[in-house]
């Protein structure tokens, strides 16, 4: 359930708030090496572990803990100038 909620939220930001433009150049790597959003299924010769295809052929990595999904979603919505709250079974 958390994967679907995470992907739906990212998809919403991509489609309605120009998230990709706010992240470019891709890949979006919030840490040191692991891409979270990319326009390919691989980066530096390594495949994304669980890429989920978004609209317009972008991919979001879903092989993260629920805590990391929340952290990344908070970072992404900040780029769109609003906040997110979590409830339920995260």
Q: Give the residue-averaged pLDDT of 62-87.
A: 93
pLDDT tens, position by position, 2-46: 899 999 999 999 999 999 999 999 999 998 888 999 999 888 888
Output the pLDDT for position 19: 96
Entry pTM? 0.90
Domains (range + CATH), the chain: 2-79 (1.20.1380.10)
How far is CA 59 from each of CA 7, 29, 81, rounded to the nearest angstrom? Answer: 10, 13, 22
Burial-class residue 16 by CB neighbours within 10 Å (0-12, 13-18, 19+): exposed
CA-nearest of 70, 53, 51 to 61 is 51
What does the longest C-alpha to C-alpha distance in the chain come to? 37
- Give dist(CA 84, CA 39) in Å, integer: 25
């Amino acid at each position: 359930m958390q994967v679907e909620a995470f992907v739906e939220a990212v998809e919403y930001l991509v489609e309605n708030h120009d998230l990709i433009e706010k992240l470019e150049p891709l890949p979006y790597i919030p840490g040191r090496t692991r891409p979270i959003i990319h326009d390919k299924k691989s980066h530096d010769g390594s495949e994304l572990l669980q890429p989920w295809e978004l609209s317009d052929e972008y991919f979001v990595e879903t092989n993260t803990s629920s805590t990391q999904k929340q952290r990344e979603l908070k970072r992404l919505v900040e780029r769109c100038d609003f906040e997110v709250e979590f409830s339920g079974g995260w």
